[in-house]
Structure 1
């Protein structure tokens, strides 16, 4: 008689959620690649460093306080009061598994802000922002929407029937609202908006790296949505199918909209279209059909492009398009859910209109809480330390200003600037012939050599002329006299250079 294997479903569920947490962590790498590739090279290291540091900040603070506020025993549906960091040593392996999974979500919410404020927010100010996201903004709203996940009383929004399966609102809208408050508080980058001119398009440092980051994020979303079942069950394949179809719909519609708007296939619209589609389906990936997922993603791609253009028209500078890609699709996916979802899968017992009302309430509460707290945070913090780097540091680039990191390009620019200030045409720049910047330096050396030769030839001609030749600056100060001028005016060049030309002519 064959033996039937005994399957430990609890262990399988734990393994699945842990694997999903690892996939969600891949999204952190995706954010890093996307933001570092989208921003200018002189700031790419700073953006990447913020992504690494905010992960450490968010994880630590969420372990210490945030997880307890979000999933601890509820106090009237408003706050959790247990499961703080010092209490997690004596809990079950399943609680620790949920902590790991949710900590990745918290890091995602914090990282959204990094891209929006890139190239002008100081490193310390950004870490301060990430700390408050993990300490208060994310876990408190998360308790309202997801509290009671470990048993006990639900959060007050959840008890009303609010549905946000994997965090269109709880994660992405929260991060988007904070990002909006941040960019409004610190203002646009220098040179981004000029009077009576279209917005300046800053060059991306490495768009292929940004596109790789988008693919990493699609991969990470398998864990983001698939792991939110918190179990290995027959829902998982459908959820994953809805996830990738949402991404595909967002890419296609955003590309087409970008083509219509810009007259070419805009790379950033394709990237952010993928993210927008993923964010939109996240609210109800467990309760919608595959055709609905594709349509939801397609609409989110259009909304993302429209929002991006609206922000530009209103001179709001989001460096990587985080607000159009996360905030607006998060709102859209949450509000659209009652109209396209299977009511049985939602399992709230509400009618379509009642569900729509609760979803709208959740979106409004999220905006008031997240944007409101973030705005107060920036208003108060700005009195004690700068929320924006100095104009000089912004021009220099935050790689060098905040981390002391040089690269070949910044070194080349420093040499050229020094060459300009000293005016010595005999100087040459060391050039590595095996790099692109080295080739530029070698070309600059050849131009400098040719200019030195031409200037030397001109000086010989002027020196041998019997006629007097003077040169002076726009402010009237003499810069040179040839021997003919010395003889004509009866002066020595060394005595007259730097004096007003009028003094010579009046004599």
Structure 2
């Protein structure tokens, strides 16, 4: 009877893990729709190609070497196949290792998706895909090994011992992706016409706001798997209660972020800015991701609201600094990701401000520096940016040879 209960728990936890992984995988569609909606129509096909290709590359590279680097393995492809359950051994009754791999690989793809939006409309497709190989196969797994993997940072210190906590990845996933994105944007430069010679900032509106809104709703839904799956179990009373609270807080934070950003945009611009509202919802989600298990629903709403306010100010500040991010990814995932890490100690005594700061600095420093090295090498070898003429005509034609909306293009 006892073994039957253990087997049932194993089966339920494995199934829950897989369903949450599928929800996170669906976030790839959310990023694709969000970014396709926020770029100009002449760059739509290329941004969609980047998103679908980066997901495939992430899946391959994490399988080949990333998972072993992050969680330890004597050889590549190790620790994935097989069963984690041994009859009669309750300590092994968790979930299948292959389910863990699937859940982890969709997180890698999420981190890489953050980069694609920030460098949109002017980067060469194959330079981006080459970077994706290194990011998902080496850069992300290394910082992941120091955090979720539990390894010491170059043998110097252990982030967990210092009081660093990141429940579902405000720093490990989101800030890491933003650090790589920031590095790429700096080396790439701004889009032509974005900033005037007199210091003016010219708005470049996206082509399809309904698509961007759909993408945001998809991401919002997928985030329940992102945060909820990080409980790692659901087949006991305690874990089921924890999952329910994480779902509640995730939704509350997103709602708080959207409303706060929408109100602030109205106060600053005199209008209800949809793009700021969408980024506000995503900012709320990023803010709560580091610790969705310990706040109350009211606290989660407040955390999300502060994230929504931060993202508006951050987007405006980066524009003043002439850091051109077409979709606001650096602000949403980087600035708010850092904020999400720093508020964890307010509701979780197992973390500390110093530990969160050291962890954030470690993640950002590692990803930014290594990404910069890769961007420099790619710039020297194949170049990062399309020509000015190709940028003017749109990268759909130069990089993909097809347009997303050909019937609306006059020749």
TM-score by length of 2: 0.91
In the aligned structure 2, how far is the partner of 1:6 from the partner of 1:386?
A: 58
In the aligned structure 2, how far is the partner of 1:407 from the partner of 1:253?
A: 34
Change (3 A) 1:399 1:410: farther
Answer yes or no: is 1:270 the counterpart of 2:270. Answer: no
In the aligned structure 2, how far is the partner of 1:169 from the partner of 1:148?
A: 15
Deviation at 1:90, TM superposition (A): 4.6
In the aligned structure 2, how far is the partner of 1:385 from the partner of 1:110?
A: 20
Per the alignment, in what secondary structure is the counterpart of residue 372 of structure 1? Answer: helix
Contact persistence 1:21–1:104 (CA under 8 A) = yes
Structure possessing the higher relative contact order (Cα contacts under 8 Å, 6 or more residues apart) = 2
Where does structure 2 lack aligned partners over 5 or more consecutive residues? 85-94
Deviation at 1:83, TM superposition (A): 6.3
Change (3 A) 1:267 1:9: same
Alignment of 1:181-330 (within 5 A): 181-196=183-198, 198-232=200-234, 233=239, 234-330=241-337
Partner of 1:399: 396
Partner of 1:84: 76
Partner of 2:344: 337
Partner of 2:113: 111
Deviation at 1:160, TM superposition (A): 2.8
Answer yes or no: is 1:357 the counterpart of 2:354. Answer: yes
Contact persistence 1:175–1:326 (CA under 8 A) = yes
Change (3 A) 1:240 1:393: same
Cα shift readout 1:252-301 (whole Å, capped 9, x = no counterpart) = 11111111222111111011101110001000001111111111111111
Cα shift readout 1:302-334 (whole Å, capped 9, x = no counterpart) = 110111000111111001000111101110010
Alignment of 1:97-136 (within 5 A): 97-136=99-138
In the aligned structure 1, how far is the partner of 2:76 from the partner of 2:258?
A: 40
Deviation at 1:82, TM superposition (A): 3.5
Contact persistence 1:189–1:317 (CA under 8 A) = yes
Contact persistence 2:68–2:78 (CA under 8 A) = no
Alignment of 1:156-195 (within 5 A): 156-195=158-197
Where does structure 1 lack aligned partners over 5 or more consecutive residues? 73-80, 415-507
Alignment of 1:444-459 (within 5 A): none
Answer yes or no: is 1:389 the counterpart of 2:391. Answer: no
Partner of 2:87: none
Change (3 A) 1:57 1:162: same
Alignment of 1:334-483 (within 5 A): 334-339=341-346, 341-343=347-349, 348=350, 355-406=352-403, 409=406, 412-414=409-411
Per the alignment, in what secondary structure is the counterpart of residue 88 of structure 1? Answer: coil
**How many residues of Structure 1 are paired with residues of Structure 2 in the alignment?**
388
In the aligned structure 2, how far is the partner of 1:407 from the partner of 1:237?
A: 41
Contact persistence 1:64–1:86 (CA under 8 A) = no
In the aligned structure 1, how far is the partner of 2:404 from the partner of 2:113?
A: 25
In the aligned structure 1, how far is the partner of 2:245 from the partner of 2:80?
A: 34
In the aligned structure 1, how far is the partner of 2:353 from the partner of 2:340?
A: 12
In the aligned structure 2, how far is the partner of 1:12 from the partner of 1:139?
A: 28
Deviation at 1:410, TM superposition (A): 7.5
State which structure, 1 or 2, has the greater radius of gyration over its C-alpha atoms. 1
Contact persistence 2:44–2:404 (CA under 8 A) = no
Contact persistence 1:58–1:130 (CA under 8 A) = yes
Change (3 A) 1:87 1:361: closer
Change (3 A) 1:294 1:87: closer
In the aligned structure 1, how far is the partner of 2:165 from the partner of 2:269?
A: 37
Per the alignment, in what secondary structure is the counterpart of residue 143 of structure 2? Answer: helix
Contact persistence 2:150–2:158 (CA under 8 A) = no
In the aligned structure 2, how far is the partner of 1:103 from the partner of 1:303?
A: 29
Per the alignment, in what secondary structure is the counterpart of residue 147 of structure 2? Answer: helix
Partner of 2:38: 38
In the aligned structure 2, how far is the partner of 1:384 from the partner of 1:300?
A: 39
In the aligned structure 1, how far is the partner of 2:380 from the partner of 2:199?
A: 33
Deviation at 1:411, TM superposition (A): 7.4
Per the alignment, in what secondary structure is the counterpart of residue 48 of structure 1? Answer: helix
TM-score by length of 1: 0.74
Change (3 A) 1:208 1:408: closer
Deviation at 1:197, TM superposition (A): 5.3
In the aligned structure 2, how far is the partner of 1:244 from the partner of 1:83?
A: 40
Answer yes or no: is 1:29 the counterpart of 2:29. Answer: yes
In the aligned structure 2, how far is the partner of 1:408 from the partner of 1:213?
A: 19
Contact persistence 2:257–2:305 (CA under 8 A) = yes
In the aligned structure 2, how far is the partner of 1:128 from the partner of 1:322?
A: 20
